[in-house]
Every structure is written in structure tokens, then in C-alpha cells.
Amino acid sequence: MTWLDALLILDSTLRVATPLILCAMAGLVSERAGIVDIGLEGKLLASAFAAAAMAALTGSAWAGLVVAIGVSIILSMIHGFACITHRGEQIISGIAINILASGLTVVVGVALFRQGGQTPSLPREARFPSLDLPGSVSLAELPVFGPFWAELVSGHTLPVYLAVVSVPLVWWLLWRTRFGLRLRAVGEMPAAVDSAGISVPWLRYRALIIAGILCGIAGAFLSTAHGAGFVREMSAGKGYIALAAMIFGKWRPWSVLFACLLFGFLEAGAARIQGTPLPVIGEIPIEVVLILPYVATVVLLAGFFGKATPPAALGTPYQKER
Amino acid sequence: MSHTPSRPGPAPGPVGSSYATPAIRLTGITKRFGPVIANDAVDLEIAPGTIHGIIGENGAGKSTLVSILYGFYTADSGAIEIEGRPAPILTSADAIAHGIGMVHQHFMLVPTFTVLENIMLGAEGGAMLRGGAAATRAELLRLERDYALEIDPDAVIEELPVGLQQRVEILKALRRGARILILDEPTGVLTPAETDRFFDILRGLREQGVTIVLITHKLREIMEVTDTVSVMRRGRMIGHRTTSETTREELADMMVGRAVSLQVERIATQPGAVAMAVQGLTWHDEGGVARLSDISLDLRAGDILGLAGVSGNGQSELLDLLSGIAPVQEGRLVIGERIVDRSAAMDPAEMRRAGIAHIPEDRHRRALVLPFEARENAVLGYHDGPQTGSGRLLDPTAMQAHCETLMARFDVRPPAPRLPAIGFSGGNQQKLVLAREIETEPRIMLIGQPTRGVDIGGIAFIHAEIMARKAAGCAILLVSVELDEILALADRIAVMNAGRIIGEIPRGEADVTRLGLMMAGVEAAA
């Protein structure tokens, strides 16, 4: 395997990991505030559809991104209304959002485009272009660093860079700002926040809004940057895998990033070894290759890497005690 | 006449005379929770720079009152004045803005955060943490110097002993500029040594002009550390005293009350054989604290033994041991032929089969499943018996009939077997429990607080039923914090204090004054 081969695998790792990173950061912000966010999958799917539909109708990927974020925030607010305002069961509410997204995207898709739930294939102008960073051409001839810059760092779409930036941003927000201190406190001990005279519901709603924004970007990436349009169930469990990566990363941004990249690497690697005969075992059946990332999720989560301690108040609605 | 915040030492004098403006004035505070009046037109005035105690039994309304003061609840009516100015406190943020700090019974600390982060929470001093953290560190050093409250700002809360966690709570309040500090049952989690240190801290705070409100049900603490004291009972403010001019006995009397005299038709019986002998029971809780020390009692057929005492002195633990809920550690129970000790335990079901009925103190948590229907509650603990029909399955028709019978005989209103237990008033809930337990004609009854939260009519009915059981030859242990109830029903009266039996006297020799002395821990004078 050459340096270029390795770079190409890492390059596709990053692209595959992008929706995972964004969704996992969304989940992290939400769960650090004490709200279980199993609805990541639904938000991802709905915003992917919204982005593609809007881009198809207006021809603008940016309009698609804005609407995707809007739809994702609306779903987050429905979750918040059920779980924060009415102290509902958070898992149920999240699953309801997933089912809603799964059905609604197809229904609205058929109504708008009459293509069996898909959106029309998006032309190049209605998608996020690859961005060539300065030096991607002039530096490309340098040994080692040249290909690294040109192949791996440069040439991604905007959402990929947003995903990479979201990790330090979330870390900074949670561990360096007043808002972050309060947000983490409300996930551990909401009564302490309440007794400090700070509104518990408003903090949790704000956490969900941030989660909605991040999820919306992930959805737009799927259908208007990575893909060229929306297809049914195109989120394909990525929201759940992001949730798994978040738990595997123990609700800590950098560990979660590592987990997302690991899952991304497994999937990118799997795509790479498809059809390639390996020494000793020969060619691996495509079905086996495709389930690898999912098997890895199960195995890694089965407690291989020590116990993960979730925020103490996760999943528990806050009620002033009598 | 004005006061300066740093005025050294207290000068409480007679309540309400030696200061211009009270730190706190509450007028006519009333708070209802559904049908329960938690605070009934409560008035309170506290002088600045003093330690003021509020004492009362569990459920007397102390915690509700200070929760209103701290903005956790809003009063239905009444007014709050802080330092002479009307203070409409609707939220905790309002209370903090008025210089009120509160140390809760259960600490409001984030266990995974450091001391510094906990103290900053809600008073961060800016959108970024960095500047506020430096300022808070400096402030902590100042507080440490002024009040001798040392703490490592970088220690993680869950790794600190409770005494230090409590110190963090106090620092949190002071950091926000609290001039009035409310402490809700602060010593419940402390060891005696920690308690002494804690009281020194309170005196130090008073030196600095902080007004302290101490909520407790422990007389010792009131006498040791407060300047003035208010007594609450059943949601009402009973009276205010200057601590140096009152006595434990007077306060105990005020706490338990002797206002209503209860009339029960007494039935004279000849006490029979010993049905249950309690011999040398000593019991330690999970923390290794002795809750019961060398308890010995005899329960006799056709005889009521009343167990008096301020609540929290070991009565609940004793009931748990006698009913089989908690295992015996040291000492033994002799029940007829059976001996129950450390090696031979009996669980509550076996106890029940041996003819022991238990009416728990905590009706809502131990006697009833509140969301269940009355007919389901009427068979709790007796699912194997004829109450649920003849077969292996629960027979709804039989349960319905059984419940109707109980309700008719014990005058439970409304007589609706399908109504969930939560839908009945306290008195009718208790009648249902009593009916369930009495109906099996037990040989021994363990009764805890039979009339807590029960209206006057219900009290008379329940007392008459207990008396009737005695006449039928049942051996009865009656645990109550109501002295009137004990005096009305019991044949012999034992008094508990700090996990010990202080003494046992026949009813004829008992009066409120003597029992009050014993409840305060003074040994029975022969």
C-alpha cells in the first residue's frame, strides 16, 4: 500500500465520518443537558430530504442547508415539547420522531416529485462543490506533504469542514463558557441549577436547538454534498451509529471524534476491500464487507472499552420535589 | 437606631425588642397542597445577625415555610419582608437577589464537578469561564480568611466527605452575597464531631453579621446554638421563645402539643401472657450509627404499650425490626415458641402468618399502593388467603365482596372498591389499612402513628377500634408522637430518646409534664 492509497482511504474515512461526527456532536450536546436523543436518525433523514427538496426546487444548495437546519430544529423542538415541557418518556418521543421522519419524507417526496419518494437528481450547481484550498495545486508536487494537503485536507465540501470544526467548537462551548457549565450541570444535577436560580427547561431547549443545527448540517451533507439527491431511508442507521459513537466516546468530544473516525474508517476500508482478493482468505463476499461497520458497532459497545458513565440525570424529566 | 453588619456577637434580647429592622418578616404565610394545609397563616420575625431556630416534627411545615422564603414554592397568601422592604419572592433567583442563601437537606451540588465549578454555577461572572474562575478563586481565599472555611477549590465533590460538601454549600451561598442563610436539617448527615465543627462555623458567621435560620427537629441543636427559636406544629406557628429563657421540656411540649383532649371509652382488661418479648435489641444503620441501643419490651395479650417520643429517636427502626422488615442484628425477639435473632430471621410474611399485624407509620409508602384500587389494596399481603377467592388466581368478585365488607364495617367513605387508594382522604385510607389488618384477627398488632393526617372523626373511630382489639385480647404496641393519643389509649407508656428506652411507667403515673421530661432525655424519676 502506497502513501497515496493510505491517503485515499483516510480521505474517504473523513467523508463517511462527516454525518457521524455532526450527529454525534448533536447527541453529545443534547445528552450532556440530560435529554436522550435517539431521534438523531429521524432528524438526519428529514433534514436530508428537506435539503434535497429545497435544492431541487430552488437550485440553491445554500437554501437547502437553511431549510434542512430549520426542519431539524423543528423536530428537536417537538422532542423538547414532549420531554421537557410535558416530561414525557424521551426514548418514546425520539422513536416517534424517527418513524415520523421515515414516513413523512416519502409521503412529501411522492407528493412533490412523483418519483417514488426520491428527489430528482441534483445538478452540479444545486450541490455543495468541493473546495480547493490554497496550495492544492502548487504544493501538490512536494513529497509526502504535497499529496497529504492536496488529497486529504483539500477538496472536501463545506459540511465536511464544518464537521471537523464542530468538535473543538462543542468542546469550547461546553468546557470554556458559562452556558456550557450550566448545560453540563443540568445534565448531572438539575436541582442544583434550579436552586441557583437558572431555568432548567430553557437550558435544555437551547441544547436541543444546537443539536438541531448540527443534525441539519449532517442531513444537508448526505443529500446535497455527498450525494446528489434524496433517496428513501438514505440515513441508513447513521444516526444510531452516531449515538453509539457518542456513547463509545463517553460523551467527550475528542473521544467521540475518534470513535466516529473509527466507524468511518471501517466503512471506508470495507468499501476498499470489496472485490479485492486478500491473502489467505481470498475475496470476501460483499455482504460480509457491508455489515462490518455495524458488527463493529455492536462489538465495541458490548463493553470492550470500559464502562461509560452517562450524565447522571440523562433521561430523567426534571420536576421540583414536593 | 441602626445596626452594622459586622456587629460582634448577638444581642437578641427578648424577641422583637433590641433591633430596628428585622432581617426577615413573614406575615400570614399560607400554603396549601391540595386538601393539605402545609402552612396556616404563619407569622415569623427574625432579628439580624442572630441564629434563629425553627423546630417541629416531620411534616410540621418547616421545610415548606423556608421553601417559600427561598422561592421554591409561592405562598397562596401572605407577605415577605426582607430587611424592612417588601420582597415578592417568586423564584430562587429573586431570593438570591434579596441576599438569601439556602443550604438544602439534600445538597444541591453537581457530584462530578469540582468545588470551584459548583461555586461558580449561577454566578459565573461573565459568558467565558476563565475570568470568573480567577475571580472566584480570589473570593474563596477571602472567604477562607474571613470565616475560616478552608476548601480545596479543585477537589471533585463526589470525592469529598459530606462535612466538606456542606461547607461548599455554605461557601456557594456566601459567594453570592448571602446575608441570610437558611439551613434545612443541616446536621442529619453529619457525625457528632462534624456537627460541633459546623456549629462553630455558624457562630463565626454570626460574628460577621450573617442572619442564620436553622431548621431542625433536634432539641439539642436548638439549645446549643440558637439565640431565638420558633416552634411549628401541623402547619401552624405555635410560639416564639428566646433560647436562653426556655427549656427543652417547654419546647417538647410545644412541639407535640396537648391542646385537644381525646375522649376514648376505655375498656379495662386484665393483662395476659407475654405475646412478644423484645430482648436487648441493638441496631446499627448502614453508616454504622447506632439507631437502637439495648431495647427491651414486653407486649402482653389484652394490653396496649404506648411508645412515646419525638420522632426520629428510633421508633421507626424498632417497628421495622419487630415487623420483620429489617433483620435483627443484636438481641432477640421471642414470639410464643419462636425465637428471632441474627441467625434465625423472620420475614414480614412469616410474621404475618404468626399472627402479627403491622400498620406502618408511612401509610403512603408502606401500607398502600396509591394508584391501585381499594379492593386491590384491601388484599395486600394476603394474596394467598381467602380474601382473593378460593383458587390460585385472583378472583375479582371475591376481592370486590371482601372490600365491600371491610368498607361497610369500618365506615370507609366513599364505599367504592374500584376507586384508587389515592382518591380517598387520609382518614379513610387509614381506615382501609386498619380494616385489612384487623380483619385477620391478629394476636399482636404493631401500630405506627395511627392518626397522622386523620380528621377528628376518623381519630375517634380508629381509637375505638384499637380499644376493641385490646378487649378481644390482642397485644398492641402503639407508636405515636401525639402524647394525647398515647395517654388516651395505652395501659403502659415507654418513652424513647436517642435510640434508648428512657423509662416505662404505668398510665396512672403518667402526665404530660413527666413524659415531656423523659422525651427530652431526662431519666424517669422514680
A positions 5-44 inside 8 Å of B (CB): none
Contacts with B96 from chain A: Cβ below 8 Å:
196-197
pLDDT at B262 over 60: no
Q: Please give the residue range of the domain that contains residue B454.
A: 274-367+442-519
Q: Would you call A181 an interface residue with chain B, using a CB distance cutoff of 8 Å?
A: yes
- Of A175, A196, A320, nearest to B121 by CB-CB distance is A196
Domain boundary among B228, B255, B282: B255
Choose among A160, A201, A212, A210: nearest CA to A39: A212
pLDDT per position as a tens digit, A143-167: 888 888 888 888 899 999 999 999 9
- Number of A/B CB contacts below 8 angstroms equals 73
Same structural domain, B226 and B278: no
Q: Distance between CA atoms of B172 and B164, rounded to whole angstroms?
A: 12
Between positions 22 and 61 of B, the ones with CB within 8 A of A are 33
**How many domains does chain B contain in total?**
2
Residue B89 sits at φ, ψ, to 5 deg, of -95, 110
The set of cell numbers assigned to B343 is 441467625
Residue B384 counted as domain residue: no
- Residues B282 and B250 reside in one and the same domain: no
Domain containing residue B212: CATH number:
3.40.50.300
Q: pLDDT grade, residue B172 (50/70/90)? A: very high
In this predicted model, what pLDDT tens digit does every residue of A108-127 receive, in sequence order?
999 999 888 889 999 988 99
- CA A218 to chain B, closest CA, distance in angstroms equals 28
Residue from the list A176, A180, A191 with its beta carbon closest to the beta carbon of B108: A191
Listing DSSP states for B262-278 in one string gives P----------SEEEEE
Any chain A CB within 8 A of the CB of B112?
yes
**Does residue B51 contact residue B12 with C-beta atoms inside 8 Å?**
no
Residue B115 · residue B168 · CB < 8 Å: yes
Nearest CB to A193 within list B95, B112, B121: B121
Give the pLDDT confidence score for residue B452 in this predicted structure: 79
Does the structure show a pLDDT above 70 at B212? yes
Q: Say whether pLDDT at B312 is over 50.
A: yes
> Contacts of residue A193 in chain B, CB cutoff 8 Å?
121-122
Query: Does residue B144 or residue A184 have the better pLDDT?
Result: A184
Answer yes or no: do B72 and A320 touch at CB < 8 A.
yes
> CA-CA distance, A246 to A250, in Å (whole number)?
6
Cα distances (Å, whole numbers) of residue B422 to B208, B276, B418, B429: 49, 34, 11, 8
Please give the model's pTM, rounded to 2 decimal places.
0.72
Sign of the torsion angle spanned by Cα atoms A99, A102, A105, A109: negative
**Which pairing describes strands B51-55 and B228-233: parallel, antiparallel, or unpaired?**
parallel
Same domain, B116 and B226: yes
Q: Which of A135-144, A257-266, A302-311, B3-12 has the lowest mean pLDDT?
A: B3-12
Domain-located, residue B379: no
B375 in a structural domain:
no
pLDDT at position B261, please? 47
Per-residue pLDDT at B2 exceeds 70: no
Residues B336 and B467 in one domain: yes
A308-315 average pLDDT score: 85
Pair B250, B287 in one domain: no
- Which of B104, B118, B129 comes nearest A177 by C-beta? B129
Of the three residues B220, B255, B290, the one that is the final residue of a domain is B255
Residues B199-203: what's their mean pLDDT? 92
B6-40 pLDDT tens trace = 333 343 334 445 677 899 999 999 998 776 788 99
pLDDT at A69 over 90: yes
The whole-number pLDDT of residue B150 equals 87
pLDDT at B3: 41
What pLDDT, on a 0 to 100 scale, did the predictor assign at position A275? Answer: 67
Q: Which residues neighbour A196 within 8 Å (Cβ) at sequence distance 6 or greater?
A: B92, B96, B108, B121, B122, B123
How many Cα atoms sit within 13 Å of A91 on the Cβ side? Answer: 3
Taking the Cβ of residue A314 and every Cβ of chain B, the question of whether any pair is shorter than 8 Å is answered with no
Interchain pair A189, B33: CB under 8 A: no
Cβ under 8 Å to B: A residues 51-80? none
Read off the pLDDT of residues A238-257 as tens digits, 9 standing for 90 and up: 999 999 899 888 899 999 99
Judge if B196 and B151 occupy the same domain: yes
User: Model confidence over B331-372: pLDDT tens digits?
Assistant: 999 998 899 999 998 999 999 999 999 999 988 888 999 889
Interface of A with B in 187-216 (CB under 8 A): 188-189, 191-198
- Report in angstroms the alpha-carbon separations of A47 from A70, A237, B69: 8, 14, 47
Closest CA to B467 of B451, B491, B432, B440: B491
Q: Where are the beta strands (DSSP E) in B34-149?
A: 36-46, 51-55, 77-82, 85-86, 100-103
Mean pLDDT, chain A, rounded, equals 89
Q: Is residue B288 domain-shared with residue B239, that is, in the same domain?
A: no
Query: Is residue A282 pLDDT above 80, yes or no?
Result: no
Our CA-based measurement puts residue A182 at a distance from the nearest CA of chain B, in whole angstroms, of: 7
Q: In chain B, what percentage of residues exceed pLDDT 70? A: 92
Judge whether B252 and B519 are in contact, CB under 8 Å: yes
pLDDT band (50, 70, 90) for residue A261: very high
**Integer Cα distance of B230 and B52 in angstroms:** 8
Residue type at A86 in one-letter notation: H
What are the residues facing B295 on neighbouring strands? B281
| pLDDT per residue as tens digits for the range B465-517 | 999 999 999 999 999 987 888 988 999 999 998 899 999 999 988 887 788 78
Q: Which residue has cell 386498619?
A: B434
Q: Which residues of A touch B127 (CB under 8 A)?
A: 177-179
Q: Which cell goes with A321?
A: 420535589
What is this model's ipTM? 0.86
B317 and B244 part of one domain: no
Q: Are residues B287 and B229 in the same domain?
A: no
Residue B10 domain-assigned (yes or no): no
* Sequence-ordered alpha helix ranges (H) in chain A: 3-32, 40-58, 61-80, 90-113, 145-147, 158-176, 178-188, 190-195, 200-221, 238-248, 253-273, 286-301
Mutate to test the interface with A, among B121, B129, B176 (most CBs of A within 10 A): B121
**pLDDT above 50 for A14:** yes
Residue B91's φ and ψ, nearest 5 degrees, are: -135, 170
Does B258 have pLDDT greater than 60?
no
CA distance B90 to chain A (A): 11
Asked whether A197 and B92 are in contact (CB, 8 A), the reply is yes
Instruction: Inspect the interface and report whether the beta carbons of B110 and A189 lie closer than 8 Å.
Output: yes
Using a CB–CB cutoff of 8 Å, tell me whether B136 touches chain A. no
Q: Which residues of B touch A312 (CB under 8 A)?
A: 111-112
The pLDDT score that the predictor gives to residue B526 is: 42
Q: How far apart are CA A42 and CA A97, in angstroms?
A: 6
Taking each helix axis from N to C end, the angle separating A238-248 and A40-58, rounded to the nearest 10 degrees, works out to 130
Using a CB-CB cut-off of 8 Å, the residues of chain A touching B72 are: 195, 320
Specify the DSSP element, H or E, that contains B465. helix B456-471
Q: What is the dihedral of CA B403, B406, B408, B409, to 10 degrees?
A: 170
DSSP per residue, A255-266: HHHHHHHHHHHH
Same domain, B458 and B330: yes
Residue from B136, B98, B70, B181 nearest A194 by CA: B70
B positions 75-94 inside 8 Å of A (CB):
91-94
Boundary (domain end) residue, out of B200, B224, B255:
B255
B464 part of a folded domain: yes
Mean pLDDT of B404-425: 89
Residues B143 and B286 in one domain: no
pLDDT digits over A188-237, tens only? 999 999 988 899 999 999 999 999 999 999 999 999 999 889 999 999 89
In this predicted structure, which of A4-18, A294-308, B159-173, B195-209 has the lowest mean pLDDT? Answer: A294-308
| Residue B429 covered by a domain | no
User: Which residue of B108, B114, B422 to mutate against A (max A Cβ within 10 Å)?
Assistant: B108
Nearest to A177 among B33, B92, B128 (CB): B128
Which residues does residue B189 pair with via DSSP β-bridges, in sequence order? none
Please give the C-alpha separations between residue B347 and each of A153, A293, B314, B331, B381, in angstroms, as whole numbers. 70, 52, 20, 17, 12
User: Which pLDDT score is estimated for A263?
Assistant: 87
Strand partners, B277: B298, B334
A192 to chain B nearest CA, in Å?
A: 4
**pLDDT score recorded for residue B375:** 94
* Interacting residues of A295 by C-beta distance below 8 A, sequence separation 6+: none
- Three-state SS at B344: coil
Write down the H helix ranges in B112-191. Answer: 115-120, 129-147, 162-175
- Residues B206, B95 share a domain: yes
CB A223 within 8 A of CB A61: no
Grid cell 468530544 is found at: A253
Which pLDDT score, from 0 to 100, does residue A145 have?
83
- Whether domain A3-123+136-301 has CATH 1.10.3470: the reply is yes
Q: So what's the pLDDT on residue B58? A: 65
Q: For position A27, what pLDDT does the model report?
A: 97
| Average pLDDT along chain B | 87
Record: contact A188-B113, CB cut-off 8 A: yes
Q: CA–CA separation, A94 vs A245, rounded Å?
A: 18
Which residues neighbour B47 within 8 Å (Cβ) at sequence distance 6 or greater?
B12, B15, B16, B18, B19, B22, B23, B211, B227, B228
Q: How confident is the model at residue A303 (pLDDT cuts 50, 70, 90)?
A: low
